[in-house]
Amino acid sequence: MNFGGVEENVVTRDEFPLSKALEVLGGETIAVIGYGVQGPGQSLNMRDNGFNVIVGQRKNSPSWERAVADGWVPGKDLFEIEEALERGTIIQYLLSDAGQIAVWPTVKKYLTAGKALYFSHGFGITYADRTGIVAPKDVDVILVAPKGSGTSLRRLFLDGKGLNSSYAIHQDATGRAFERVVALGIAVGSGYLFETTFKKEVFSDLTGERGTLMGAIQGIFAAQYEVLRENGHSPSEAFNETVEELTQSLMPLVAENGMDWMYANCSTTAQRGALDWWEPFKEATLPVFKKLYREVASGEEAQRSIDSNSKADYRAGLEKELKALRDSEMWQTGAVVRSLRPERNKK
C-alpha cells in the first residue's frame, strides 16, 4: 500500500478476515501473561472473537481480582502464571517492561519448541543486553503493537471499530510466524496491520510517548497555559484555549480529515497564524526530538526506565510525580471544565 509515495506492507481485515484468523489459530491456546495495560483489552477482544484464551496472573493480586471481575474463571481460563505458561502454545507476554525482566527466568522454562512468544512492545527483545530477554531459537518471536492503550482497543472493539497496529517478526522458527502474527493482530481487534521491526517499534514508541503523544504535548500545554495566565487570562479561559478546544473540537476533525483540511476550513485569521507559526515551533522543538531519538537509539532512555522502574519505592515516587501533575492549576481547572461538558458529550 502506498503512503505518501512510499510503499509499505499492510494487512487489512478484508485480506485476512476474522474467519481466517480463527482457522489459523484453531488449534492454539493463547496464554495472556499480565493483566495490566494491554492484557484486559487484548484478552477480552480475543475471547469475544471466539479464540481459545487463558489468562496467567499472580493469585490474589489486584490484577487477578480484576480478571475475575471481567469474567475469567479460576481453574477454567484463569490460572497462576506457571500453569498458564505450560498450557499455552502462544505466550502473550504483556507484563510491564520491568515485570518482563523479573518474570523472564520463569517464562523461558516453558518456551518449548514450536511455541510462539508474543510481545506488544519491542523493548525486551531490542534491549536484550540490558533486559536479559533472549528467546530460545526454536520458538517464534512476534509482535503486535496496537497504536493506543488497551482501554482504547477495547472501547473501539465494542463500538465495532478497530485500532491500527504494527506487526513484526523477530524469529520464525516454525515457518508459521507470519500467519500467526497477522491472525493474532486481527484477533485482538486491529483495524489494519502495518509491518515494522522490533527495533523500529520500540524506537518510534519511546519517541512518541516522550514526544507528541504525552511528554511534548504536556510541555506545550503547560507553556501556553502559563503565558496566558501570566497575562491576566482566567484559568477557565486559559484551559479552554489551550486544551479543551484542541481535544474536543479540533483533533477529532483532524483525525477525520487531516490537518490540511483543518487549515482550509478555519477562519482566514487562524489560517494565516497557523501557517506563519508552525515552522518556528518545528525549529524550536526539532533539536529536542533529535536528542530524544539519539538517547532512545543508544539505549540510554531504556536504561533510565529500567533503573527507575526497578526501585523498591518506584510506585511511591511515581504517585508523588503524578499528584503534582494532577494538583497543578491547569489540570485542576481541567477537571472542572470536564464536569461542565454537556451530558451528551460524556462517555
Sequence ranges of the domains in the chain = 2-196, 208-345
Q: What's the pLDDT tens digit per position in 131-158?
A: 999 999 999 999 999 998 899 999 999 9
Residue 168: pLDDT band (50, 70, 90) is very high
39 and 94 Cβ atoms separated by less than 8 Å? yes
Radius of gyration from C-alpha coordinates of the chain: 22
Distance CA 309, CA 76 (A): 33
Distance CA 62, CA 64 (A): 5
> What's the N-to-C CA distance of the chain in angstroms?
35
Residue 347: pLDDT band (50, 70, 90) is very low
Q: Produce one character per residue of 47-78: b if its CB has 16 or more CB atoms within 10 Å, e if not.
A: bebebbbbbbbeeeeebbeebeeeebeeeebb
CA-nearest of 166, 170, 161 to 189 is 161
C-alpha cell belonging to residue 96: 510491564
For the entire predicted model, the pTM comes to: 0.88
The fraction of the chain above a pLDDT of 70, given in percent, is 99
CA-nearest of 110, 109, 128, 112 to 170 is 128
C-alpha cell belonging to residue 51: 479464540
Q: What's the pLDDT tens digit per position in 204-233?
A: 999 999 999 999 999 999 999 999 999 999
Residues tagged active-site: 121
Amino acid found at 62: P
Q: What's the pLDDT tens digit per position in 28-55?
A: 999 999 998 899 999 999 999 999 999 9
- Confidence (pLDDT) at 3: 82
What's the mean per-residue pLDDT of the chain? 94
In CATH, the number for domain 208-345 is: 1.10.1040.10
Class of domain 2-196: alpha beta
pLDDT at 345 over 60: no
- Confidence (pLDDT) at 86: 98
Distance CA 142, CA 271 (A): 44
144 and 115 Cβ atoms separated by less than 8 Å? no
Angle, nearest 10°, between helix axes 198-210 and 268-298?
130
281 and 72 Cβ atoms separated by less than 8 Å? no
Phi, psi values for residue 151, rounded to 5°: -65, -45
| Helix ranges, 49-176 (H) | 62-69, 81-87, 97-109, 123-126, 128-131, 150-158
pLDDT at 343 over 70: no
DSSP string, 15-60: TS-HHHHHHHTTT--EEEE--SSSHHHHHHHHHHTT--EEEE--TT
